[in-house]
Amino acid sequence: MEERGIAFEDVRAHPEGMGVLDETFPLHSEDVAKIAPKEGCKLDEKSRCIRADVLEVDQQAQRLRLSLVSTTLAGERVEQLFWLDLYDLPMVNNTRLSHDQRMAVVLRSFKGTSAQLAFVYFPGSHAGLKDKPFYDEMLHQLELTPESDGQAQH
């Protein structure tokens, strides 16, 4: 989990978006314990770059408009534009990435002039029940499963 604080005056000073996250993550979240996320995007075949920008602050509704972009060397590009408030839950409201991974953004606090964000990178198996795997993800997982020796296990 990565945490970032933002000042609303900085967001207003950057109408094109204020960068709050620009890091390299392993393609598989189980590798996060072995390989810590790296600040700045330095891609290789086993990593993805995730960038998040705060585009707008709605102080009355206590919410933020964010842009989240994930890219890989293999050509994957996932872009999400969304509003984030204190009621968004990371296991339910998250961005689906390749290799059955997810990225969620949590609004941890929203005060008069600032907010605190947390970025959570996790496997899709931890996502909410409504989030069933896509067909291509299921096929990919089957390809990764080692073949058995032909004996059924009971």
CA distances from 88 to 49, 68, 107, 144, 147 (A): 23, 15, 8, 33, 40
Which pair of structure tokens corresponds to residue 28?
A: 């598989």
Q: What's the mean pLDDT when you consider all of the chain?
A: 83
CA distances from 123 to 18, 29, 71, 85, 133 (A): 27, 6, 17, 23, 11
pLDDT band at 40 (very low <50, low <70, confident <90, very high): confident
State the CB neighbour count (10 A cutoff) for residue 146: 5
Q: What percent of the chain has pLDDT over 70?
A: 74
| Calculated CA dihedral for residues 92, 94, 96, 99, nearest 10 degrees | -90
Which pair of structure tokens corresponds to residue 83?
A: 């509003």
pTM of the model: 0.76
pLDDT band at 153 (very low <50, low <70, confident <90, very high): very low
pLDDT at 106: 96
pLDDT digits (tens, 9 = 90+) for 49-107: 999 999 999 999 999 999 999 999 989 999 999 999 999 987 788 888 988 888 999 99
Place of tokens 């979240």: 29
pLDDT digits (tens, 9 = 90+) for 95-132: 889 888 889 999 999 999 999 999 998 887 766 555 55
Residues 6+ apart with CB under 8 A from 48: 24, 25, 26, 27, 70, 71, 72, 76, 97, 98
pLDDT at 152: 47
In the predicted structure, residue 154 carries a pLDDT above the cut 50: no
